[in-house]
Amino acid sequence: MCTLSGKVYIKDIERDFIKFYGMEFLSLFNLNIYSDNTTNWIKYMLRSSRSKVNPMKHILLINYLGISIEDFFIKEIEYKPFGDGPWICLNKICEDYHKPVIKNIDINYNNKKKTAVGSFKCNKCGFTYLRCGPDLSENDKYRIGKVVTIGEKYKEEIGKLLKRDVSIRYISRELGLGQKTITKYAKKMGYMK
């Protein structure tokens, strides 16, 4: 409904708000929403207007957002698309594989995909990966969207396997990395042209 930078998608909220309460209910209290009208009260409330707004409208909006009135006024709500840390290392050859050892992540916003993008780096092995959020299920934390840096342990292992003269496909399966990633690092390390 909004971006990490705070841009609110008013039309989406209006549509869902009407679905949530129903036009019949809103009409009973004369709380109609006129999307193209300059007197659209949802737009006024969400865009920090200085206009006075009926408290009933505030209560309906807070309820629609799924927040208690006490929390709305007291708690500072932080957007956590990947939940609370620590997060797991997804480097198959790291001693901390699948262990929650990543204490900090960087979160950016992808305007094209309209999603949060988390950058996760294991301090032990250096493996860094990106993943789009938010996490919708428990299994999402095991997903790698893109490998940014494989880290020294992977480089060592790729080197060992290349010296054994095994195929890129074999290395890819063994290490759980894509063939393009293996080829890229094999070239960087001077094993391929």
**What pLDDT does 5 receive?**
56
Residues 6+ apart with CB under 8 A from 94: 122, 124, 125, 127, 151, 153
Domain range list for the chain: 10-74, 87-149, 152-188
Question: Which token pair is 82?
Answer: 């990947």
Question: Which token pair is 146?
Answer: 């893109």
Instruction: State the first-to-last Cα distance of the chain, in angstroms, to the nearest integer.
Output: 48
Tell me the pLDDT of the chain (193 aa) as tens digits: 666 556 777 788 888 888 999 888 888 888 777 656 666 778 777 776 666 778 888 888 889 888 888 888 887 777 789 999 999 999 999 999 999 999 999 999 888 888 899 999 999 999 999 999 888 889 999 999 999 999 998 899 999 999 998 999 999 999 988 899 899 989 998 888 7
Q: What is the pTM of this model?
A: 0.64
**What pLDDT does 85 receive?**
92
**What pLDDT does 34 receive?**
66
**What pLDDT does 39 receive?**
66
**What pLDDT does 17 receive?**
87
What count of other Cβ atoms lies within 10 Å of the Cβ of residue 124? 15
The residue whose two tokens read 């709380």 is 31
Tell me how far apart the alpha carbons of residues 98 and 185 are, in angstroms, rounded to a whole number: 24
Sign, Cα dihedral of 78, 79, 84, 88: negative
**What pLDDT does 164 receive?**
93
**What pLDDT does 73 receive?**
80
